[in-house]
């Protein structure tokens, strides 16, 4: 399908700050539960969440085309694109339909701080890939210093695992430090207790809007047709527990306790201006994984950390989605290549996205290099190797356009101590 791309020169009658993540060129979708109202789909514009149910009830959105706006249940990529195009028409500066109806827009425009944003789609399933090649290489150098940092299969298949869907939480949810089983190298028996190496992971994620049949694969060329859009993902990790449990079957309790996502689904249409070719793939993937042109994205990513003693967060890492080795379309093609079906509401994550530099690492494990290089927090003089109780981690991402940015908002979480 041809994407609906809002011109860079387009303006809204809603006041939008120049550095806002949510100009009229974006118009991402979320799910809100404002006080005293039912859950409703919303669109972000500037500092506001636009209640689509109110527009529907007042005849500004055609009920014949979009009858169910209480959730994403009736949405696929094509329908979401059509809804975004309709909302764009209502918000553009020279369209009077909503602009001149003050009674309606005063009720429909909810300050984002008051919108009570939810997980946009409670996922049916959650899959986490390992497609950030610099992260994979860093981890390999740490734990296999005498060998090849990338295992032989890395450049042939997108590595991934099935995670826990019911611990996906929205930005702002506190993260309780998990208890895990660990084993120090100098003792005979493992121990069980609060993780001492709690970490974040800087990732992107994407929601599935159209499912597929069991036994039938989705090709790389068709994969994006099944997607609704992208979100930020922090797949929290207990590194000490992971180190003990991951062999031979991979992540389990060290990863399943919490995954934070941003509340706004940014459509592929909005991200069209930021498409890029991506890094070279050598060796050439097998034919069923051969990627299509411009299937990667130039999305700036930033990680900030604020301790309980700090008054404002400090940027500790910057990266970019372009550092993914495998595109999101290739990931879906691989997931379904054995006949695994897709379901509406599936959430997929890319894996940790690190750049080549030390300050581009997408995890504390890399930033502190297993704890050997503590990170200094300038405001208070504190240092960190892994996350401590009271620390807040904030992920942000955006594509930079000509005079506008298409952003994702934040995926934030504060670490809370174990109390039971």
Give catalytic residues, as residue numbers.
135
Apex 123 CA angle, 332 and 315, nearest 5? 85
Q: Which of 149, 77, 150 is nearest to 342 (CA)?
A: 77
The tokens for 384 are: 């960190």
- Rounded Cα distance between 282 and 155, Å, is 7
Convert the chain into a string of H (helix), E (strand) and C (coil).
CCCCCCCCCCCECCCCCCCCCCCCCCCCEEEECCCCCCCEEEEEECCEEEEHHHHHHCCCCCCCCCCCCCCCCCCCHHHHHHHHHHHHHHHECCCHHHHCCHHHHHHHEEEHHHCCECCCCCCCCEEEECCEHHHHHHHHHHHCCCCCCCCCCCCCCCCEEECCHHHEEECCCCEECCEEEECCCCCCCCEEEECCCEECCEEEEEEECCCCCCCCCCCHHHHHHHEEEEEEEECCEEHHHHHHHCCCCCCCHHHHCCEEECCCEECHHHHHHHEECCCCCCCCCCHHHCCCCCCEECCEEEEEEECCCCCCCEEEEEEEHHHECCCHHHHHHHHHCCCCCCCCCCEEECCCCCCCCHHHCCCHHHHCCCCCCCEECCCCCCEECCCCCCCEEEEEEEEECCCCEEEEEEEEEEEECCCC
The sign of the CA dihedral 26, 31, 34, 38 is positive
- What does each C-alpha distance from 185 to 142, 189, 214, 240, 344 come to in angstroms? 16, 10, 44, 11, 44
Apex 22 CA angle, 19 and 24, nearest 5? 105
């Amino acid at each position: 399908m041809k994407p609906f791309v809002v011109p860079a020169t387009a303006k809204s009658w809603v006041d939008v700050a120049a550095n806002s993540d949510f100009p009229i060129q974006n118009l991402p979708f979320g799910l809100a539960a404002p006080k005293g109202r039912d859950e409703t789909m919303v669109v972000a514009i500037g500092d506001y969440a636009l209640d689509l149910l109110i527009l529907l009830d007042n005849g500004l959105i055609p009920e014949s085309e979009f009858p169910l706006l209480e959730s994403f249940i009736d949405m696929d990529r094509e329908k979401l694109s059509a809804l975004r195009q309709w909302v764009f028409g209502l918000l553009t500066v020279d369209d009077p339909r909503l602009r001149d109806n003050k009674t309606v827009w005063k009720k429909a425009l909810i300050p984002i701080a008051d919108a009570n944003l939810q997980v946009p789609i409670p996922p049916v399933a959650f899959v986490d890939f390992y497609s950030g090649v610099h992260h994979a290489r860093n981890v390999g150098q740490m734990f296999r210093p005498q060998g090849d940092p990338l295992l032989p299969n890395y450049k042939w298949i997108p590595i991934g695992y099935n995670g826990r869907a019911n611990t996906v939480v929205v930005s702002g949810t506190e993260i309780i430090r998990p208890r895990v089983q660990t084993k120090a190298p100098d003792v005979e028996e493992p121990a069980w207790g609060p993780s001492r190496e709690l970490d974040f992971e800087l990732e992107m994620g994407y929601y599935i809007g159209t499912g597929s049949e069991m036994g039938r694969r989705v090709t790389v060329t068709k994969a994006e047709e099944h997607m609704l859009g992208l979100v930020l993902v922090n797949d929290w990790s207990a590194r000490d527990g992971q180190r003990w449990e991951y062999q031979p079957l991979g992540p389990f309790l060290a990863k399943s306790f919490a995954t934070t996502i941003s509340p706004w689904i940014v459509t592929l249409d909005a991200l069209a201006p930021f498409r890029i070719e991506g890094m070279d793939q050598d060796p050439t993937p097998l034919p069923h994984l051969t990627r299509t042109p411009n299937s990667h994205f130039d999305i700036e990513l930033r990680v900030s950390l604020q301790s309980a003693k700090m008054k404002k967060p400090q940027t500790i890492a910057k990266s970019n989605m372009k550092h993914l080795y495998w595109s999101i379309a290739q990931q879906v093609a691989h997931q379904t290549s054995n006949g695994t079906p897709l379901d509406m509401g599936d959430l997929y994550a890319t894996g940790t996205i690190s750049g080549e530099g030390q300050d581009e690492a997408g995890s504390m494990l890399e930033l502190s290099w297993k704890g050997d290089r503590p990170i200094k927090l300038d405001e208070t003089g504190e240092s960190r190797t892994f996350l401590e109780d009271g620390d807040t981690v904030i992920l942000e991402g955006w594509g930079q356009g000509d005079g506008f940015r298409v952003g994702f908002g934040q995926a934030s979480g504060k670490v809370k101590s174990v109390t039971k």
